[in-house]
Structure 1
């Protein structure tokens, strides 16, 4: 798969269930126009809830003002299909394809008087290339928050990456995974992927390294945590061309709630031994260095290794000046590392500031969304409703 694919599609194939949190999951007509038509497709999916009024895709300015009730109305239009337990076996995982949107639309030059230019907006020169390096086996305990994400899109199976993040409403007991919207949903006119499953600390032991014929149990120290709910940005669901980067990439974030595979009440955070808090609206001048993580599966990588990139201070990449300017690094990751966490340091602690969204066709750079109020409000809503 070419670097145009940064997302990995993990699958879920189960019957649609109305969840405590009914989150953005596109189930509408494949060829409907979510922007023009006042139909459920406007929300990137038809409603499975009789009598629920469809929501019109908000403008960027409207989205920035959304409160709890707005996110609740958005969520009520959709349900996500819970992952089928046991769907993923080792052969499916090994054959799953990497996918990641390419650069698509060229970034716009910073206007002389930008109408809604966010702080730190504009474009910087492409950062110096930086090589991703495999995490030593076994992974250090703090890196167990990183994991491999599997999903199914139609009859095809894909892989992405994700991070266990702290849950504001459930401190110390998070079941939330942060990733990219494109790892969860097919974009404009599309649907939610199915059989979305998260495997934290995948291949920490090195059982599958270098072509080794390890078992699935050896490769998944904490098992497979199937998705039971999810949330994506309305702009991704209503605008996105999933194969290319564009203004929607500036809101390319997604959230999953997962379930313990052994059926117990022990949370993902408790099992893996930690979670990463998200630093929303991080002052750009204070993001002095980022380290990105993920499981790149496009050549020269094979998707079996947790790779990291010590990228230094991120540059700026703007596509639409009205939206938060993306963070950009010179990392050479490929498809499969989509959704992987970008870590910075705040008050001496590791925090998440972005996720891998798009990359260059030549694998010389990657960019991720800047997580502002919109992302924070989405998490706050999702956290409270998924208690």
Structure 2
């Protein structure tokens, strides 16, 4: 989620929802996502045809067919990229447009320590952003205490996991959900998250080294034990790199680290491929995928939604999976923007992108939103109400999948 305040230090963490608020009436909203960290190594191939492969020390970069040419078009030298050029965020070379997405796989980049120490990205909104709400916004909901999911997480929520990525501020983390692919029933490689977990919005571009880890820390090990955990223990279902991602044109045009602009369109869909190859899809590997409901009822007609995620800002540390079941209300950020869902929930930064699950017309569980913003002190979350724009993004990534396989 996104906050309005500068990040404070908690060990290596730079982002926090618990920052002191300067004025009592200031409302600060945060994107629940990720945070900076050391640059190490880790990567994945996904079993696709390899057009280029080189090595640097213990790591190597793997480029599926077609990606190498796109990299060259953007002036990216593969050898330099692998050896650290991806850490350079020059605004003149930061890829920004929807069609510019490239995400070369670097073997070993997401090692256990790097995964564990990635932090949450944040977005802020102050009370001025809520001033012209057309009288639509409901009273702020009472906080709902986030409940820890009983491990193993895969048994309770096989579709849930983390999105890891690198930003100019360092290594970051969001939450995400495996969703069905209408073009590949039972064999989906699609993941739903927040737009601010993949793209910086109006003043930035695509983040790098984007990967999905289903059932992160599946056994629910305490943080102290994770310091010595193997990659298999932290990522029992593997690391899945995003070979394609798409977010809304509205997020790219207006989204940012502060203010409410873009938040009602703060969603994204990833197509992923397994780091270590293999013939099974993500859905087959984890044993499930949620349908997405683009015709979900309004907040007034919705009895309950359940938000899930890995909150990372204090008092949480990003290593455990939590849930908040709550009755949704409405949040309006302005007369020109769609109304968002809002629920009471104490999850903090890191939960961004996590799925909100309700019941579809058939009474079956379905994803109806994702966490986007929340106040810096915690207490509630807001997520976009998914409509035509979200469905267009979803269908476009599904259609793209055949060209990536």
TM class by shorter chain equals 0.7 to 0.9
Q: How far off is 1:349 after superposition?
A: 1.5
Structure 1 counterpart of 2:369, from 328, 331, 354: 354
* Distance 1:9-1:81 versus aligned 2 partners, 3 A rule: farther
Structure 1 counterpart of 2:286, from 272, 276, 283: 272
For 1:41-73, what per-residue CA distance to the aligned partner results, in whole angstroms no more than 9, with x for missing partners?
Answer: 9xx726xxxxxxxxxxxxxxxxxxxxxxxxxxx
* Distance 1:173-1:7 versus aligned 2 partners, 3 A rule: same
In the TM superposition, structure 1's runs of 4+ consecutive aligned residues that sit over 4 Å from their partners are: 9-20, 29-32, 208-212
Q: What TM-score do you get using the length of structure 2 for normalisation?
A: 0.76
For 1:162-184, what per-residue CA distance to the aligned partner results, in whole angstroms no more than 9, with x for missing partners?
Answer: 00001111111110000001000
Q: How far off is 1:211 after superposition?
A: 4.3
Structure 2 counterpart of 1:102, from 124, 131, 134: 124
Q: Higher mean Cα deviation, 271-280 or 103-112?
A: 103-112
What stretches of structure 2 of length at least 5 have no aligned partner?
1-14, 18-29, 44-60, 77-88
Query: What's the counterpart of residue 264 of structure 2?
Result: 250
Contact 1:16 1:80 in 2 (8 A): no
Count of matched residue positions in the alignment of Structure 1 and Structure 2: 333
* Distance 1:205-1:386 versus aligned 2 partners, 3 A rule: same
Query: What's the counterpart of residue 24 of structure 2?
Result: none
Q: How far off is 1:142 after superposition?
A: 4.8
Instruction: State whether structure 2 residue 34 is matched by structure 1 residue 8.
Output: yes
Q: How far off is 1:110 after superposition?
A: 4.1
Q: How far off is 1:325 after superposition?
A: 0.7
What stretches of structure 1 of length at least 5 have no aligned partner?
33-39, 47-74, 113-121
Query: What's the counterpart of residue 288 of structure 1?
Result: 303
Query: What's the counterpart of residue 50 of structure 2?
Result: none
| Aligned mates of 1:187, 1:381 — CA distance in 2 | 19
Q: What SS does the corresponding residue of 1:322 show, helix, strand or coil?
A: coil
Query: What's the counterpart of residue 179 of structure 1?
Result: 193
Q: What SS does the corresponding residue of 2:129 show, helix, strand or coil?
A: coil
| Aligned mates of 1:340, 1:374 — CA distance in 2 | 19
Contact 1:108 1:318 in 2 (8 A): no
Q: What SS does the corresponding residue of 1:238 show, helix, strand or coil?
A: helix
Query: What's the counterpart of residue 127 of structure 1?
Result: 141
Q: What TM-score do you get using the length of structure 1 for normalisation?
A: 0.79
Q: How far off is 1:281 after superposition?
A: 2.6
Q: How far off is 1:106 after superposition?
A: 2.3
* Distance 1:15-1:262 versus aligned 2 partners, 3 A rule: closer
Q: How do 1:14-33 residues align onto structure 2 when only pairs under 5 Å count?
A: 18=66
| Aligned mates of 2:31, 2:372 — CA distance in 1 | 10
